[in-house]
Amino acid sequence: MYSLLKNISHKKRIDLFIVLFSILIFFKLILPASESYIYYFFNEILVLTVFGLGLIISKTYLSDKKNQPLHLVLNSGVIVAGIFLFNSLSLNLLDNVKNDLNKIPLYESFSSVIIVIVNLIGALIFSAALIYLFGIFHQLFLLRQKKDLSFYFNSMSIFFALSFVTQFLEKKNEELEFIPITFFAMSVILIIINSFRVAWIAFISKRQKLYVLLISTILIVLFAINLGMAEDDGFTKNFLVNFSPGLHFFLTILLLYGLIYYSVLFITTLFHLPTAEAIDKKVEEVSSLIDLSKLMTRVLDIKDLSDSITNYILKVINSDAAWFVEVKKEKIEIHSTANIEKNLAEEITKNCLNNNLLDKEKVSVLNKTQLVVDPAINNMVDYYTIISAPIIRHEINNGFIIAIRIKTFQFDDDEIKSFQAFAQYAAIAFENAKLIEESIEKERLESELKVARDIQYKILPREIPQYSHLELSAVFIPAFEVGGDYYDFFPLDTCKLGFVIADVSGKGISAAFIMAEVKGIFESLSKSIQQPRNLLISANSILKNSLEKKNFVTAIYGIFDCKNSRLTISRAGHVPMYLCRNKIVNKFIPNGIGLGIEKTNIFESNIKEIDIDLIYGDVITLFTDGISEAKNKDLEEFGYARLEKLICENSDLTVDALSKKIMEEVTVFSENYQQHDDITLILFKWKNNLTAEVK
Amino acid sequence: MAEFNVATRVQGGVKIIDLKGYLDAHTAPDLEKTFNRLIEEKNYKVIVNFEELKYISSAGLGVFMAYIETMRENSGDIKFAKMKDDIYNIFDLLGFPVLYEFFKEEKDALEKFNLKL
């Protein structure tokens, strides 16, 4: 029947309960008492069914308190106290009331009606209380169960039920008394078995255990007194038996259950008290590990993470101070400390490392005597034991978590194991934080490089001037890290074209900023100074004051003049300029120190200016060291010779085609090697036929 | 990444820096550290041995420029020795030979230092 009831929905159960409950009330009002067997039998079955349903329904409400053993214990206490109150009050006030419904004539006087109703209400309240109590015992039984023991509880419930329905026999027929007594005995045996399911006591804290000890003492007394009172032939027993002899049995058996259960609980708790502190510590360890694993995903800042690690260590292994140290190539970095000065932690770590006392793969425990530490440190910190666990990242030792204990007892095996587990967690968390820091740094560098590249593109000329007497081509290929190449053209008048090619030392954003400055300088100087040498002298005098000592700029500045068919150039530390005429290459390296290098007047006295008279078909090549220093996978440089040969062999091509050819060769040459520097290639071809003829 | 190594030694009261490998924007800070230490220790007479240097970039050249003034102000100098032709060409293009002293051998540079004394 129980299993049948189990399968129907909660709502239907309630409906069924209401129906049966109404039948019971109705039945009890019509026939409050009778001496016949059939009456008793029918009565007991009806009451039991209502009880069973009530139990199942109450279970849904009780299961909310599943993991609150103390709450359950307290609730049972409240009920038993209520029963006690009722018993003691009725003992004094109502004991004289004649309450055997079988012996008083019913429905013949008003008082008898009152008695019937009082009996009924009292019995119903008791029933509700008992069902609730039974539910509590069931929940307590289920607490912290690791395997299915419902068989024992269910058999006990069945024997309860059997005793329940046969209870009236005890009263009616002395010969059949053995039946309820046997069932009762079986119930008691099962109660004893079930009362040993008190495993939950192990998992509560020491304070809670002390609390349970106190409560269970009170409960034992209350249950015992109630049990005694229930057996007295008083008012309570009378009205319960009137309602149903089984109900009285139910009260008795539950009080007995409570008595046994709380006695067992009391004794178990008493035995658990000595280990309570150890359990508390274990629980804290576990929760610290859980906290750390949460931290792993949340805390991404290395400082915050390190602080948490050291603080947890204090709890996990009950140490007096702890610190977290990262070991890099040759130096150590203390990321966080707890209860110890940073420099002191550093001293101790250094000493341990220098003496090879810390195991790089597993936990090491050191005693004070093992340490060869400066007496100064020894006096500063009064430690007894040092424990260290390695932080391993990519199978390489990255550092240590170190803790010290002042108390003069050793770290035990359990603590060492938790310490190790904790260190492994910490290593993962640390690794995560590191990776994130690295990727943020990488992102920052990349965005910085992007800014630098943007600056460079804005600085370089967007359009190349067009001339009938001069073919012109400019190619620029940036390196991943901006290299600081710069070129520009300055149409000075209808017949004069100034140009500059420059290379700023260094890379990245700083090179890009210098480039911007250089552009400004050349743009303004080109307007006022028409001699390349003087222009570079002025540029140097500006740059030598504005550049940092370690920075410099190499440049070639030149002017094409169509009137005289002449090219005038000056060089400041830059790679050579080539002139190819009749398939023969001339290299031009006039004297000149790089801009921003020399702060005395040596620059001025050193720099030269050369004039070259051009003829039709002359090819002039300017470039930056990105070409000559382009490397292949064997780290061989492209060099000047290859470039010269290329220019020579292809000087008949248009400048655009020649430029393409050179770039192709450079690309093929350095195919398997990353481009490290910007590449700039500027080609001019002199097409001024007329002037050449005049000359 | 290309390898770079910098080592220092003393000879006749002059610090000698041995460079090895590739000196570029990434390895230049190592050389800067070495120079900073020399200045801290008040060693202003320095010979740089280039025998085993394979490559120098503009950032590498910049390191010498950054420290030469300090050395000279303290009546010291940075002198270059045993430079291979391809490396010398880079220095030469930039006009360094006008400003710095280059020597075939270390001992020539040492002699020059001692002469000044």
pTM of the model: 0.58
What is the bridge-based pairing of β-strands B14-23 and B45-56? parallel
pLDDT band of residue B49 (cuts 50, 70, 90) is very high
Does residue A581 contact residue A560 with C-beta atoms inside 8 Å?
no
Average pLDDT value for residue range A672-689: 87
**Bridge partners for A569 per DSSP:** A558, A610
Average pLDDT value for residue range A255-260: 92
- Cα A501 vs. chain centroid, distance in angstroms? 53
The answer on A368 and A303 residing in a single domain is yes
pLDDT of residue A234: 73
User: With b meaning 16 or more CB within 10 Å and e meaning fewer, what string describes A661-673?
Assistant: ebeebbeebbeee
Distance from CA of B63 to the nearest CA of A (A): 6
pLDDT of residue A372: 60
Average pLDDT value for residue range A583-611: 91
Average pLDDT value for residue range A413-428: 83
pLDDT band of residue A572 (cuts 50, 70, 90) is very high
Q: Which of A481, A507, A598 sits opposite B99 (nearest CB)?
A: A598
A130 Cβ partners below 8 Å, 6+ apart?
A247, A250, A251, A254
- Please determine, for residue A495, whether its predicted confidence score (pLDDT) is greater than 70: yes
Q: Which of B66, B95, B96 sits opposite A550 (nearest CB)?
A: B66
pLDDT of residue A1: 55
Average pLDDT value for residue range A483-498: 91
- A550 CB neighbours in chain B (<8 A) are 59, 62-63, 65-66
Does residue A402 contact residue A387 with C-beta atoms inside 8 Å?
yes
B58 with A597: Cβ contact below 8 A: no
Around A91, how many Cα atoms within 13 Å sit in the side-chain half-sphere?
13
The answer on A381 and A238 residing in a single domain is no
The answer on A486 and A341 residing in a single domain is no
What is the bridge-based pairing of β-strands A577-581 and A496-504? unpaired
pLDDT of residue A585: 92
The answer on A236 and A143 residing in a single domain is yes
The answer on A168 and A111 residing in a single domain is yes
Does residue A233 contact residue A192 with C-beta atoms inside 8 Å?
no
Q: Give me the percent of chain A exceeding a pLDDT of 70.
A: 92
Does residue B47 contact residue B14 with C-beta atoms inside 8 Å?
yes
- B96 CB neighbours in chain A (<8 A) are 593, 597
User: With b meaning 16 or more CB within 10 Å and e meaning fewer, what string describes B57-96?
Assistant: bbbbbbbbbbbbebbeeeebbbbbbbbeeebeebbbbbbb
A265-269, A272-276, B5-9, range with the lowest pLDDT:
A272-276
Average pLDDT value for residue range A13-35: 82
Cα(A641)–Cα(A644) distance, rounded to whole angstroms?
Answer: 5
The answer on A542 and A393 residing in a single domain is no
**How many domains does chain A contain in total?**
3
Give the max Cα distance, chain B: 42
Which one-letter amino acid corresponds to residue A244? S
Cα(A77)–Cα(A627) distance, rounded to whole angstroms?
Answer: 92
Average pLDDT value for residue range A244-266: 90
pLDDT of residue A694: 40
Q: Is the ipTM of this complex over 0.85?
A: yes
Average pLDDT value for residue range A246-265: 90
Number of C-beta neighbours around residue A356 at 10 A = 8
Find the helix or strand (DSSP H, E) in which A326 lies: strand A321-327
The SS3 assignment for A8 reads coil
**Tokens standing for residue B64:** 């010498």
Q: Which CATH architecture does the domain made up of B4-102 adopt? A: 2-Layer Sandwich (3.30)
B94 with A593: Cβ contact below 8 A: yes
Cα(B42)–Cα(A221) distance, rounded to whole angstroms?
Answer: 91
pLDDT of residue A692: 43
The SS3 assignment for A1 reads coil
- Chain A contact for B58 (CB, 8 A cutoff): yes
Cα(A545)–Cα(A600) distance, rounded to whole angstroms?
Answer: 11
Cα(A586)–Cα(A577) distance, rounded to whole angstroms?
Answer: 8
The answer on A132 and A246 residing in a single domain is yes
pLDDT of residue A96: 62
- B63 CB neighbours in chain A (<8 A) are 550
Distance from CA of A467 to the nearest CA of B (A): 32
- A507 CB neighbours in chain B (<8 A) are 25, 59
Distance from CA of A639 to the nearest CA of B (A): 10
- Please determine, for residue A142, whether its predicted confidence score (pLDDT) is greater than 70: yes
The answer on A273 and A323 residing in a single domain is no
Averaged pLDDT score across all residues of chain A = 84
Q: Which residues numbered 150-189 in A keep a CB inside 8 Å of some CB on B? A: none
The SS3 assignment for B83 reads coil
Of A606, A617, A499, nearest to A558 (Cα)? A499
The answer on A512 and A435 residing in a single domain is no
pLDDT of residue A693: 42
Q: Which of B59, B66, B86 sits opposite A549 (nearest CB)?
A: B66
A447 Cβ partners below 8 Å, 6+ apart?
none
Q: Which of A481, A593, A677 sits opposite B98 (nearest CB)?
A: A593
- B59 CB neighbours in chain A (<8 A) are 505-507, 550
Decide which of A487 and A7 is more confident.
A487
Q: Which residues numbered 536-595 in A keep a CB inside 8 Å of some CB on B? A: 548-552, 554, 572-576, 589, 591-594
pLDDT of residue A377: 64
pLDDT of residue A108: 67
Of A89, A165, A79, A161, nearest to A125 (Cα)? A79
Average pLDDT value for residue range A95-115: 67
DSSP string, B19-73: EEEEESTTTHHHHHHHHHHHHHTT--EEEEEEEEEEEE-HHHHHHHHHHHHHHHH
The answer on A676 and A527 residing in a single domain is yes
pLDDT of residue A278: 79
A500: left (phi over 0), alpha (psi -120 to 50) or beta: beta
Positive or negative, the CA dihedral A329, A331, A334, A335 is negative
Number of C-beta neighbours around residue A471 at 10 A = 17
pLDDT of residue A475: 92
Average pLDDT value for residue range A317-327: 86
Q: Is residue A114 part of a domain?
A: yes
Find the helix or strand (DSSP H, E) in which A609 lies: strand A609-613
Q: Is residue A450 part of a domain?
A: no
Does residue A143 contact residue A200 with C-beta atoms inside 8 Å?
yes
Q: Which residues numbered 450-469 in A keep a CB inside 8 Å of some CB on B? A: none
Of A260, A63, A204, A210, nearest to A142 (Cα)? A63
pLDDT of residue A394: 76
Q: Is residue A604 part of a domain?
A: yes
Q: Of A246, A279, A312, at which residue does a domain stop?
A: A279
Average pLDDT value for residue range A294-322: 80
Domain of residue A664, residue span = 460-686
- Percentages of chain A per state (helix, strand, coil), in multiples of 5: 60, 15, 25
A552 with B58: Cβ contact below 8 A: yes
Q: Is residue A504 part of a domain?
A: yes
Q: Is residue A446 part of a domain?
A: no
A633-665: pLDDT as tens digits:
888 889 899 999 999 899 899 999 999 999 999
Cα(A634)–Cα(A332) distance, rounded to whole angstroms?
Answer: 37
- Please determine, for residue A618, whether its predicted confidence score (pLDDT) is greater than 80: yes
- Please determine, for residue B117, whether its predicted confidence score (pLDDT) is greater than 80: no
Q: Which residues numbered 297-336 in A keep a CB inside 8 Å of some CB on B? A: none
Q: Is residue A286 part of a domain?
A: no
- The C-alpha angle with vertex B47 and arms to B42 and B49, in degrees rounded to 5, equals 135
Q: Which of B59, B93, B95 sits opposite A506 (nearest CB)?
A: B59
pLDDT of residue A103: 62
Cα(A500)–Cα(A516) distance, rounded to whole angstroms?
Answer: 14
Which one-letter amino acid corresponds to residue A662? I
B12-38: pLDDT as tens digits:
889 999 999 989 888 888 999 999 999
Edge-first strand order for the sheet with A553-561 is: A485-493, A496-504, A553-561, A566-572, A609-613
Q: Is residue A491 part of a domain?
A: yes
